[in-house]
Structure 1
Amino acid sequence: MGDSAQIKENEKMLCPVCEKPCLPDEIEKHVNRCIFLNCEEHPKRKRPPSPDLTSSTQPKRTITQKSPRDSNFGRQIQENARVAPLFQKTELKSNKLEPFSLEKDNLTQGGASPSFVGKHKFMDMSFKVPLGIQVQPKSLDDFYGQNHVLGKETVLRSLLEKDEIPNMILWGPPGCGKTSLSRVIHEICKKNPAKYKFTSLCAAACGVKDVSNIVALAKNDLKFGKRNVLFMDEIHRFNKKQQDVFLLSVERGDLILVGATTENPSFAINSALLSRCRVIVMEKLESDDLYSILENAAESLDVDIIDVDNPYRVIKDESNGFAIELKALKWLADISDGDARIALGNLQLTLQHCSSTKDKIITTEDIENQIKKSHMLYDRTGEEHYNIISAMHKSIRGSDPNAALYWTTRMIVSGEDPRYIARRMVRAASEDIGNADPNALQLAVSTMQGCQLLGMPESDVLLAQCAIYLARAPKSREADAALTKAKNVINTFKGPQPAVPMHIRNAPTKLMKELGYGRLKEGETFGFMPPELSDVNFFN
C-alpha cells in the first residue's frame, strides 16, 4: 500500500492556475474549476500571482508523468501557463504580469492616476475610450438632431419603431450621426435576436472576401427565419466594381444593407446598388443639437452644469465638486462646426485637462485657449469643394458683394488653392460681366497672375478685391448667351456643315485665285454668314 501511494504521489501534476498537485485523471476537472472561479475546495481562495514570465531565473517545474495521453495534456496546459495565465486579465507592472483583481479600482486598471479614485464618475471611465463611443444613443429617443429624417411621423422613424430595417445609404458629413444611428439599429437587432443578426464592417479595413463570407452566412441564417443586417461604414471606399458584391444579396433580400458615406452617392455608389437602397440625407448638426448632446454627456458623467446668469449654485461637496459653465458648454457646441464627434472630443479633453483641480467650475476662459475653433469641413476633391465655388460664382452673378466675399473667404480659410479661385473669377468676369465692363476681365486675369506670383497668404487680399469688384460691376450675359445659341445652331444643323462662302476665303496662291477664292460672283449677295444661315441672329 505504501509503494502504491508513493507511485500516485509521483504521478501528480501541478495545476497551472492554483499550483496545487493533482492526479493526471483529475487535472482537467480541477483546472476547469479554477478557471471559472468555482472551486469547491477553496471557494474564498484568491488567485496567487502568476509566475514572472520575464525573469530568466524562473524555476522550471519537473513533473513525472506515465500516461502518454495525460502527459500530453499536462505539457499543453503547462505551456499555456508559460504564455499567459488562462482566462486571466493582467496588467504589466515592474516587468511582471499580475492577476487582475476585482477588488482593485477599475480606474487604476485603465491607467489613470490613483489619486483621482472615487472623486467623480467621469474619472471612472477610461480616457482611452472616446467620449463619442461612451455616450452613443441606444434608442431613437436618445438620438439628437436630424429631425427631417428621424423626427416624429417621418417614414424612417416609423419603420424603425416597428423594428423594420430597410436597405439604406446614410449620406452626410462627419459627426452628423451616421454611426450613432447604426448603434440604434444594432440595439433593435439585439431586442429581436430571433429575427435579426447585426454585423458591422468598415470598407477601409476589409475586402470583398469578408463581405462574401457574411453573405454566405446570411443565406444560411435566412433558412431559419433570421435576416442579417450589415452596417458597412465608409462604403465609398469600395470601388463600383467591388460594390457589386452587395447587389444579388440585397436584390433577393438575403441581406439588409445599411451603408454610411461622406461622399455624394450619385458619384461614389454603384447606380445599380443605389436603386436598391433608400438614400438618407443627413445634415450638419445645429448648435442646439450639439449642446443637447454635450449636456447629455455631462449628465452621464455626473458633471454639474452651472448657469451663472441665474442665481449662482454652489457645489456643496468640497472634496468632490466639479462643474462646467453653461456658457462654456455652448461655446464648445458653437466651435465644433456641426460635428458631434469633435464636440464630444473637445469636452473630453476639457475634463481631462481640468480633472486634477478640486472644486473646479470650468469656464469659457479656461478652455478657449487650449481648444481652438475646429477646422471647417472642406474637401478639395469632394462635393463641398464644388458647392462653395458655385456659391461664390452665383453671388458675383447676383451682384451681392457680401456673399461673394464670404464664400471667397471660406475657401481661403479652408486652404483652397488660390489659383483655382482666381480661374473661376476669370470665367465669371467674361461670362457674367462681359462687355458691360471690359476692365473686369483684365482685373481677374491680373488677379490670377498675382496669385501665381505671390501664393498664400499674401494673395488673399487680391482675391477679396477681385470678388468685390466683380460683384459690384454691371452685368451682361450677352456673350455667354450668344455662344450658347451658336453652339445649338451648329449641333442641330441637318446635313453637312455649310461651306465658307468663296468671297471671304483667303487666296494666297494663283490657283486659288483662279478657282474663285476671294471673289464675289455675279448675282450673289455679299455676307459673312453661310447662305443657309443668313437669317440667323444670336443676339436679342
Structure 2
Amino acid sequence: MQKWQLESSQELADDVFITNSKLNNRNQPPPNASKSKAKSSTPLADKIRPNVLTDYIGQDDVLGGKTSLRSLIESGDIHSMIFWGPPGCGKTTLANIIAKSGKSKANMRFIQLSATSSGTQKVREVIDIAQKDRTMFNRQTILFMDEIHRFNKAQQDVFLPYVENGTIVLIGATTENPSFSLNNALLSRCHVITLQKLSSANVVTILKSALNNIEDYLDLDDFTTGNKYKIKADDQALKALGNFCDGDARKALNGLEMAIRSKIIIYNNRDITQPIDDERLPTIIAVTEKDVLESLQRSHLQYDRSGEEHYNIISALHKSMRGGDENAAMYWLCRMLKGGEQPTYIARRLIRFASEDVGLADNQALFIAVAAYHACQFIGMPECEVNLAQTVVYLARAPKSVECYMAYDRVKKNINEWKGPLPSVPLHLRNAPTSLMQKLGYGKGYKYNPDYDKPVQQDYLPSCLLNIDFFKERKFDN
C-alpha cells in the first residue's frame, strides 16, 4: 500500500508538471525530470561497464589470448583471487564479468561489498547466507570485497575458514601492495592478479565506446525541443583525456561527462528567444580539447603518502642520486612534491643519503642536506622546492663513498649475530672515578695519547675482535 501511494504521488506530480509545461514548452524541463535526475546521478563509469570479456579493454598480459585467467573465467571455474592495481584500471569491472560468468556457467551467487562501508558483521551475515545456500542448493557464493586493504589484518581473518572450506570464493580488490596490506594466511589462499595502469590508447578506446550511446547513458534531453542531444567529441579531446588521466579510465570518463554537462549548461543558458533551425533535428553538443582541459585539471597525481607509490618514488629518487643521474633525480623529486609529499620528509631522506651514499667522499654534503631541511622549515612550500632541487642536484653530482655506511653495517651484523655474552670493555679503556675501580684495575695501563709524540700502540677492541677489520670492503664487478 505504501509503495502504491509513493508511485501514485509521483505520477500525480508528473501530471501536474506536464500540465504546467504546456504553458511554455521551451522554458520548462521535460516530464519525469526528477526521475531523469536520479537516473543521471549514477557515474558514467558505472553505466558503461562491460558484461563480457570480449568487451573488456586492457590488461592483455593477464587476460589476452589463451591466458590461464581468461580460460578459467570463460569456463566458469572461479577461484579466490586478489586484484591488485591502481585506481580505474578495471578491477571492479573484471569482478563483475567473473560474477556473470560464474552465475551463468556454475549457478554461483554474487555479493559485492566494500570495506569502506561494510564491517566484519556484514561479512558474517553474507557468509551465513552463503553457508545456507551451499547446504540447501549446493550453490557457491562469490564475495567481491572492494578496497579489501581497508580491513586490518585481524579483520581479514573473518574470510579465512570460509575461503578454506569453499563456502565463498573471495575476490578482493586493492590499490595497495598485498604483501603489506593483506595477511599472509589470506594471501596463501588467494591468487594475486596484478593489473597495470591502462595505456592512453586503451583509455581512448573506452571513451569512444562510451560515446556510441552516451545520450542514453546520461539521459540527455534538450528541453527546448524534446529531442535527445547528439554528443560528439573530436579526436584531440579524447586524446587529451587519455593522456591526462594517468591510466585511470574512471577519471577519464568522469572528465568526459563533466565536459559534456558543462557544454549543455552553456547551451541551455543561451538566449532561448532565438529561433531554432529545425526542432525535429537533435541538438549537437561538440566537445573539444579546450572543453576537456577546462573541465578537468590535473589537481593531483597518483601518490599516496602512506601507500606503495610513496615508497616506490622515494626509492627511485634515492637510486637516481646514487647513480649520479641528476636529471632523473629532479624528476622524481618533482613527482613527490606535486603529489603532496611533505618537503621535510624528503629533506630527512636527503640527510640520510648524504651520510649513507656520499659519506666521507664529500663531508660538505651533510651540511648542505641539513641546511635544506632547515630551509623547508623556515619558508615551506612552494618556495622550498628550489632548496630541495639544489640539494638533490648537489648530492647526485657529488662523489660517492659507502665506506662509513658499510663499516657500521658490519658492526651491527657482528653484534646481532654474536653467540654468547658480548665481550667486555678491556680494563685499560674503562674509566676509574673511584678507588675501588682503581683497585680492580680499571684504567690501568692506559696510554694517554696527547702525552706521546708518535702514534700509541695499544688495543681499543676486546681481544676476541682484534683480527676483525670492519672497514674491509668487498668489491663487485659490473
TM-score by length of 1: 0.73
Query: Structure 2: any 5+ residue segments left out of the alignment?
Result: 20-28, 217-227, 268-282, 448-456, 473-478
Q: Distance in 2 between matches of 1:91 and 1:109?
A: 9
Q: Distance in 2 between matches of 1:392 and 1:521?
A: 48
For residue 479 of structure 1, the aligned residue among 392, 398, 404 is: 404
CA-CA distance at 1:187 after TM superposition: 2.1
3-state secondary structure, aligned to 1:198: strand
Question: Does the CA-based 8 Å contact 2:143-2:170 persist in structure 1?
Answer: yes
Q: Deviations over 1:338-357 (max 9, x none)?
A: 11111000011111122364
Equivalence for 2:5: 85
CA-CA distance at 1:359 after TM superposition: 4.1
Equivalence for 1:529: 461
Q: Deviations over 1:318-342 (max 9, x none)?
A: x966421101111011111111111
Q: Distance in 2 between matches of 1:390 and 1:201?
A: 34
CA-CA distance at 1:244 after TM superposition: 2.1
Q: Distance in 2 between matches of 1:142 and 1:126?
A: 24
3-state secondary structure, aligned to 1:355: helix
> Which 10-residue stretch deviates more, 513-522 or 211-220?
513-522
3-state secondary structure, aligned to 2:138: coil
- Equivalent AA in structure 1 for residue 465 of structure 2: L
Q: Distance in 2 between matches of 1:212 and 1:386?
A: 34
Question: Does the CA-based 8 Å contact 2:76-2:101 persist in structure 1?
Answer: yes
Q: Deviations over 1:360-401 (max 9, x none)?
A: 432212332232125211111111111111111111111110
- Cα distance, 1:86–1:416 mapped onto 2, change above 3 Å: closer
CA-CA distance at 1:495 after TM superposition: 2.4
CA-CA distance at 1:94 after TM superposition: 9.2
- Cα distance, 1:322–1:517 mapped onto 2, change above 3 Å: closer
Equivalence for 2:470: 538
CA-CA distance at 1:229 after TM superposition: 1.0
CA-CA distance at 1:216 after TM superposition: 2.2
| Equivalent residue runs for 1:77-476 within 5 Å | 80=1, 85=5, 88=8, 90=10, 93=13, 108-111=31-34, 126-192=39-105, 195-223=107-135, 224-301=137-214, 322-355=231-264, 357=267, 358-476=283-401
Percent identity for Structure 1 against Structure 2? 46
3-state secondary structure, aligned to 1:90: helix
Question: Does the CA-based 8 Å contact 2:357-2:401 persist in structure 1?
Answer: yes
Q: Distance in 2 between matches of 1:320 and 1:232?
A: 38
> Which 10-residue stretch deviates more, 90-99 or 358-367?
90-99
CA-CA distance at 1:89 after TM superposition: 7.9
Question: Highest CA radius of gyration, 1 or 2?
Answer: 1
Q: Distance in 2 between matches of 1:186 and 1:293?
A: 21
3-state secondary structure, aligned to 1:369: helix
CA-CA distance at 1:425 after TM superposition: 0.2
- Equivalent AA in structure 2 for residue 256 of structure 1: V
- Cα distance, 1:493–1:359 mapped onto 2, change above 3 Å: closer
- Equivalent AA in structure 1 for residue 316 of structure 2: A
CA-CA distance at 1:202 after TM superposition: 1.6
CA-CA distance at 1:504 after TM superposition: 2.4
Q: Are residues 1:490 and 2:434 paired?
A: no
- Equivalent AA in structure 2 for residue 433 of structure 1: V
CA-CA distance at 1:285 after TM superposition: 1.4
CA-CA distance at 1:207 after TM superposition: 2.5
Q: Deviations over 1:423-452 (max 9, x none)?
A: 000000000000101111100001111111
CA-CA distance at 1:404 after TM superposition: 0.9
CA-CA distance at 1:126 after TM superposition: 4.5
Equivalence for 1:61: none
CA-CA distance at 1:487 after TM superposition: 1.2
- Equivalent AA in structure 1 for residue 249 of structure 2: A
Question: Does the CA-based 8 Å contact 1:244-1:273 persist in structure 2?
Answer: yes
Q: Distance in 1 between matches of 2:231 and 2:144?
A: 38
Q: Distance in 1 between matches of 2:353 and 2:251?
A: 36
Q: Deviations over 1:208-257 (max 9, x none)?
A: 23222222222222232321111111222222222222111111111111
Q: Distance in 2 between matches of 1:228 and 1:92?
A: 42
Q: Deviations over 1:158-209 (max 9, x none)?
A: 10011111101111121111111122123214424x6211111122222223
- Cα distance, 1:509–1:345 mapped onto 2, change above 3 Å: same
What CA RMSD, in Å, does the superposition of the two structures yield over aligned residues? 3.0
- Cα distance, 1:429–1:95 mapped onto 2, change above 3 Å: farther
CA-CA distance at 1:409 after TM superposition: 0.7
Q: Deviations over 1:82-104 (max 9, x none)?
A: x85276582684997999xxxxx
The total of aligned residue pairs comes to 428
TM-score by length of 2: 0.82
Q: Are residues 1:501 and 2:433 paired?
A: no
Question: Does the CA-based 8 Å contact 1:107-1:125 persist in structure 2?
Answer: no
Question: Does the CA-based 8 Å contact 1:170-1:260 persist in structure 2?
Answer: yes
- Cα distance, 1:519–1:205 mapped onto 2, change above 3 Å: same
- Equivalent AA in structure 2 for residue 167 of structure 1: S
Q: Deviations over 1:96-120 (max 9, x none)?
A: 7999xxxxxx97424499xxxxxxx
- Equivalent AA in structure 2 for residue 323 of structure 1: K
Query: Structure 1: any 5+ residue segments left out of the alignment?
Result: 1-79, 100-105, 114-123, 304-318
Question: Does the CA-based 8 Å contact 2:14-2:31 persist in structure 1?
Answer: no
- Cα distance, 1:183–1:89 mapped onto 2, change above 3 Å: farther
- Cα distance, 1:92–1:281 mapped onto 2, change above 3 Å: farther
3-state secondary structure, aligned to 2:198: coil
Q: Distance in 2 between matches of 1:384 and 1:110?
A: 44
Q: Distance in 2 between matches of 1:225 and 1:88?
A: 42
CA-CA distance at 1:521 after TM superposition: 8.7
- Cα distance, 1:351–1:496 mapped onto 2, change above 3 Å: same
3-state secondary structure, aligned to 1:231: strand
Q: Distance in 2 between matches of 1:534 and 1:208?
A: 59
3-state secondary structure, aligned to 2:247: coil
Question: Does the CA-based 8 Å contact 1:321-1:359 persist in structure 2?
Answer: yes
Equivalence for 2:224: none
Q: Distance in 1 between matches of 2:229 and 2:441?
A: 104
Q: Distance in 1 between matches of 2:92 and 2:207?
A: 17
3-state secondary structure, aligned to 1:165: coil
- Cα distance, 1:208–1:92 mapped onto 2, change above 3 Å: farther
Give the structure, 1 or 2, with the largest relative contact order (CA under 8 Å, sep 6 or more): 2
